[in-house]
Amino acid sequence: MAVYLDHNASTPLDPTVLAAMRPYLGTRFGNASSLHRFGRSARNAIDAARGQVAALVGAAPQQVVFTSGGTESDGLALFGAAAGLAPGRLLVSAVEHSAVLEPARALARRGWELALLPVDRDCRLDLDALDAALAGSTVRLVSVMLANNETGVVQEIAAVADRVRAAGALLHVDAVQAAGKLPLDLGALGCHLLSLSAHKLYGPQGAGALVVDPMVALEPLVLGGGQEQGRRGGTEPVAALVGFGAATALAVAELPGRIAHLGALRARLEAGLRAHPGCTIVAAGAPRLPNTVQFALPGYDGGALQMALDRLGFAVATGSACHSGRPSHVLEAMGLAPEVARGVVRVSFGKDNRDQDVDSLLAALGSLRSALPVSAVSGGG
């Protein structure tokens, strides 16, 4: 039996979510735009899902624009908001997911002036650097993620929002990793745009949402039949949206228990890792998602360790950019020493992991450490 420890990549579909979706994969197949009973049944299901997703973040249902996932939500936020603004300065944290960084770079090619905001050694956004950037020429759009997918570090979004609003700019927050792991409240966060993805919180792959402040003029990326109040064209994937709604309702109901459970698993793993001489726990000093631990063992290559663990039945992620073996842009932005960054591995727990999974992972790490000389675990990442 394999032990899955990569929930920041994707989560399994919760059985109750699958059960909620099932009718819409079968007899309830109607197009939500149709006016007959099949269409109305689909429309009602989507409306219910919209209410559930809105409730996750304390938004009004009409603020929710359904998309195909986090990547589309981020792209819609940046391109869609930028289209309604005169080109100006765009500030993006240096540790954003590529779903934000790539649209930001594309906007830079279209006349926007892009600046990457630095983070400290613990992946925390440098608020002084934000202040300095906002004091310069007119900033119109800012994007800072709530929780980082690699390190799990949680940014002080309310403090960011105060500054961005005072400067008269719009703030987008990628909350893809935070949803289902932290409480989310749009009012407390203070952002104008917020991205979510279903498959990070036990919902299906292929569904997400952008939550939009009504004062933002959002240009659609996908033009078509006027769905989503003209903000995202295309026939709605009813089953996926029903699953997304069910997953968010489950997250609301289970959140306190999940936070306590995941936090206990993280503490157990970190206590065990600290017993390994020279082990580095990345961003250990910063507030982090309860489920995420990034660590490096001295002399070990992250990619090789990942493969060795995979052979032993443990699914973890690395901190390297795939294929290149180079440290990820996140670890680079944090200034992590390259020899440490090369060895980084990420464990991201899920609600179904148990203490035994932690103990067997620690035992596997111990066996690898004693069985393999350092020279045997080098290679690409």
Tell me the catalytic residues. Answer: 322
Of 41 and 248, which has the nearer Cβ to ligand PLP? 248
Of 228 and 377, which has the nearer Cβ to ligand PLP? 228
Residue linked to tokens 């929780």: 147
As measured in angstroms, the least distance from the Cβ of 116 to ligand PLP is: 16
As measured in angstroms, the least distance from the Cβ of 124 to ligand PLP is: 16
Of 70 and 381, which has the nearer Cβ to ligand PLP? 70
The total number of residues shown for the chain amounts to 381
As measured in angstroms, the least distance from the Cβ of 262 to ligand PLP is: 16
Nearest residue to 32 via CA among 242, 197, 184: 242
Report helix, strand or coil for 323: coil
Contacting residues toward ligand PLP, per CB under 6 A: 69-71, 74, 97, 99, 145, 149, 174, 176-177, 197, 199, 208
As measured in angstroms, the least distance from the Cβ of 123 to ligand PLP is: 13
Residues 6 or more apart whose Cβ sits within 8 Å of residue 371: none
Nearest residue to 92 via CA among 185, 174, 215: 174
DSSP character for 35?
A: -
Report helix, strand or coil for 125: strand
**Residue 305 and residue 52: Cα distance in Å, rounded?**
40
| Contact criterion met (CB below 8 Å) for 186 and 59 | yes
Of 41 and 150, which has the nearer Cβ to ligand PLP? 150
Of 289 and 308, which has the nearer Cβ to ligand PLP? 289
As measured in angstroms, the least distance from the Cβ of 189 to ligand PLP is: 15
**Residue 365 and residue 273: Cα distance in Å, rounded?**
9
Residues 6 or more apart whose Cβ sits within 8 Å of residue 169: 91, 134, 139, 140, 141, 142
Of 17 and 377, which has the nearer Cβ to ligand PLP? 17
Report helix, strand or coil for 70: helix
In this structure, what are the phi and psi dihedrals at residue 195, rounded to the nearest 5 degrees? -100, 140
Residue linked to tokens 């909350």: 175
| Contact criterion met (CB below 8 Å) for 75 and 181 | no
Nearest residue to 206 via CA among 104, 96, 101, 73: 73
Burial 328-366 (b: 16+ CB within 10 A, else e): bbbbebbebeeebbbbbbbbbbbbebeeebbeebbebbe
- Is residue 130 within a helix (H) or strand (E), and if so which, with residue range? helix 127-135
| Contact criterion met (CB below 8 Å) for 137 and 145 | no
Of 97 and 351, which has the nearer Cβ to ligand PLP? 97
As measured in angstroms, the least distance from the Cβ of 341 to ligand PLP is: 19
Of 42 and 147, which has the nearer Cβ to ligand PLP? 147
